[in-house]
């Protein structure tokens, strides 16, 4: 199983920007923790970060046939990008939206996610631990899908 983690704009600045909101942890540290959990779960994980909407869309599309799950923090694009939403919907890969801050406790314009309705779920407000929760959730989702597929194969008539 492979999970692709897609990070949106300004997340490369974690540890430097607005530590009162995002904390002192750097993106590389978050990725290291996710990678450690992935290894324990026998899952491959790939990381991608871009400040450009089109590159994020390209990466989502590249996941088709390559990844079984996507964890995405679209950052500011959460509230503005119909294109990212459409890409997630098009690939039909289980996707979890994740945010470090509680977007519902912030400015009004940040409280609406265009992405959440096309995702399996959304995790927000737990700081960097939000990513760990997303990894645990995605591994569970993918395990359930695998179990369902195996059960369906066993029910197929033998020829």
Cα 120 to Cα 124: distance, rounded to the nearest angstrom: 14
The total of other beta-carbon atoms located within 10 Å of residue 31's CB is 16
Cα 54 to Cα 57: distance, rounded to the nearest angstrom: 5
Fold of the domain built from segment(s) 2-155: Rossmann fold (3.40.50)
- At residue 81, what are phi and psi to the nearest 5 degrees? -100, 100
Span 41-89, pLDDT tens digits: 999 999 999 999 999 999 999 999 999 999 999 999 999 999 999 999 9
The whole-number pLDDT of residue 159 equals 63
Cα 66 to Cα 118: distance, rounded to the nearest angstrom: 19
- At residue 139, what are phi and psi to the nearest 5 degrees? -60, -40
Between residues 20 and 139, the one the model is more confident about: 139
Assess contact for 71 and 43: CB atoms under 8 A.
no
Instruction: Find the range with the poorest average confidence among 65-74, 102-111, 148-157.
Output: 102-111
Helices (H), 41-127: 53-62, 82-91
The three-class DSSP label of residue 113 is coil
Catalytic residues: 22, 99
Tell me the whole-structure pTM to 2 decimals: 0.92
Cα 61 to Cα 53: distance, rounded to the nearest angstrom: 13
């Amino acid at each position: 199983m492979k999970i692709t983690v897609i990070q949106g704009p300004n997340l490369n600045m974690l540890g430097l920007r607005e530590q009162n909101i995002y904390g002192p942890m750097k993106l590389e540290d978050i990725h290291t923790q996710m990678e450690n959990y992935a290894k324990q779960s026998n899952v491959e994980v790939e990381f991608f970060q871009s400040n450009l909407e089109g590159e994020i869309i390209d990466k989502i599309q590249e996941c088709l046939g390559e990844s079984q799950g996507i964890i995405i923090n679209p950052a500011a694009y959460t509230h503005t990008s119909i294109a990212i939403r459409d890409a997630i919907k098009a690939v039909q890969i289980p996707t979890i939206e994740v945010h470090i801050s509680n977007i519902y406790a912030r400015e009004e314009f940040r409280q609406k996610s265009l992405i959440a309705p096309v995702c399996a779920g959304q995790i927000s407000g737990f700081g960097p631990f939000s990513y760990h929760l997303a990894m645990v959730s995605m591994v569970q989702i993918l395990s359930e899908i695998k179990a369902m597929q195996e059960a369906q194969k066993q029910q197929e008539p033998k020829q």
